[in-house]
């Protein structure tokens, strides 16, 4: 089922001048290899963190800067967002952040070794609001089970939504996942930067539903 599932909305927007420059000139320096990843070679003794759907990269950039021991891989299909992320990463001289512009599920399936990831972040995934589109939501049993195979024991699965019904789905899927101990956060962690999507949700008066699972 992972083969034919598209979890993202195709978005057409132009990259900014900086993002265009970054995509043309800086991408090779920031792009992860297209052959299976050996983290012992690529990032010896670093904590491997994968963010699925990093958007414009606001959270990733801030957290890569404050957590130099993390090796943060951002998987995102929205090219202008990745361009912007790379441009800012270069400006800040960050060396512990990398990208792939491709469907995250394909990338993880093809390139990520089992039990190699310390943390998955899926923050404010596309909500697919219409009922007939719910099958496209990324937080669903088959996908969570698949991602768990890539997490190390003790690894973290962190997901957040600003849509109540998706929050209900997340709670149900995660608490029914064997091999995951799940907590629902009551308060927003102060270390997590506010992204454009979260700001928009808060401004619109929506509640945030945030879950952290630990692999047994």
Ligand X SMILES: C[S@@+](CC[C@H](N)C(=O)[O-])C[C@H]1O[C@@H](n2cnc3c(N)ncnc32)[C@H](O)[C@@H]1O
User: Footprint of ligand X on this chain (CB under 6 A)?
Assistant: 7-8, 52-55, 75-78, 81, 103-105, 123-126, 138, 195-198
Minimal distance, residue 111 CB to ligand X, in Å: 13
Q: Which is nearer to ligand X, 75 or 170 (CB)?
A: 75
Cβ neighbours around 171 below 10 Å, total:
15
Minimal distance, residue 61 CB to ligand X, in Å: 12
Minimal distance, residue 155 CB to ligand X, in Å: 19
Q: Which is nearer to ligand X, 199 or 216 (CB)?
A: 199
Q: Establish whether 114 is a catalytic residue.
A: no
Q: What are phi and psi of 192, to 5 degrees?
A: -90, 120
Q: What are phi and psi of 202, to 5 degrees?
A: -65, -40
Question: What are the angstrom distances between the C-alpha of 184 and each of 102, 112, 164, 204?
Answer: 30, 27, 13, 22
Minimal distance, residue 45 CB to ligand X, in Å: 27
C-beta of residue 39 within 8 angstroms of C-beta of residue 113:
yes
Q: Which is nearer to ligand X, 101 or 214 (CB)?
A: 101
* H-assigned helices in the chain: 17-25, 27-30, 39-42, 58-66, 79-91, 104-111, 141-150, 164-175, 196-203
Q: Which of 200, 136, 117 is nearest to 1 (CA)?
A: 136
Length of the chain: 216
Exactly one of 114, 126, 165, 178 is catalytic; name it: 126
Q: Which is nearer to ligand X, 77 or 151 (CB)?
A: 77
Q: Which residues are catalytic?
A: 126
């Amino acid at each position: 089922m992972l083969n034919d599932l598209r979890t993202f909305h195709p978005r057409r927007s132009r990259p900014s001048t900086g993002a265009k420059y970054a995509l043309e000139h800086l991408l090779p320096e920031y792009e992860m290899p297209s052959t299976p990843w050996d983290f012992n070679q690529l990032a010896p003794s670093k904590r491997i963190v994968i963010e699925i759907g990093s958007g414009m990269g606001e959270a990733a950039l801030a957290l890569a800067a404050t957590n130099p021991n993390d090796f943060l891989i951002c998987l995102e299909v929205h090219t202008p967002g990745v361009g912007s992320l790379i441009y800012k990463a270069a400006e800040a001289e960050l060396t512990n952040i990398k990208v792939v512009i491709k469907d995250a599920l394909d990338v993880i399936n093809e390139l990520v070794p089992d039990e190699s990831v310390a943390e998955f972040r899926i923050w404010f995934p596309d909500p697919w609001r219409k009922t007939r589109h719910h099958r496209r939501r990324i937080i669903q049993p088959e996908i969570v089970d698949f991602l768990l195979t890539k997490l190390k024991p003790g690894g973290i699965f962190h997901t957040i939504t600003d849509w109540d019904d998706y929050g209900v789905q997340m709670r149900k899927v995660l608490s029914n996942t064997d091999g995951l101990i799940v907590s629902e956060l009551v308060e927003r962690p102060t270390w997590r930067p506010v992204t454009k999507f979260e700001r928009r949700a808060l401004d619109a008066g929506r509640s945030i539903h945030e879950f952290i699972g630990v692999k047994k």
